[in-house]
Amino acid sequence: MNTTHAQALVGMLAVLGLLVLITLPALTGVVHDWRVDRQIRAARQEREAQERGERSEERKAAGGAQKSSSKPTEPSTATWYAEARRSKKLVSS
């Protein structure tokens, strides 16, 4: 192996080393995001399973009586607007 081959080998190893240094943080970020997404998905499925269990228990406790709605209600636009104005007043005072 002569000097030219040695320099080419060192140059190639340097380029590969820089490539690894540049891509490693991105790859670790992707792996971290996958793990977090998996944890969020598992928590969501667990919560949905608990909600389904609670609903079936409520139906059993109610004796089959029909409720007006099993979904929680959301505040009206007027309520939302009033709460936003109150919070702005608290900030400005």
CA atoms within 13 A on the CB side of 62: 12
Among residues 58, 80, 82, which one has the least CA distance to residue 70? 58
What is the C-alpha to C-alpha distance for residues 50 and 57, in angstroms, rounded to an integer? 10
pTM: 0.45
pLDDT in tens, the chain (93 residues): 799 999 999 999 999 999 999 999 999 999 999 999 999 999 999 999 888 887 777 777 666 555 556 666 776 777 777 777 777 666 555
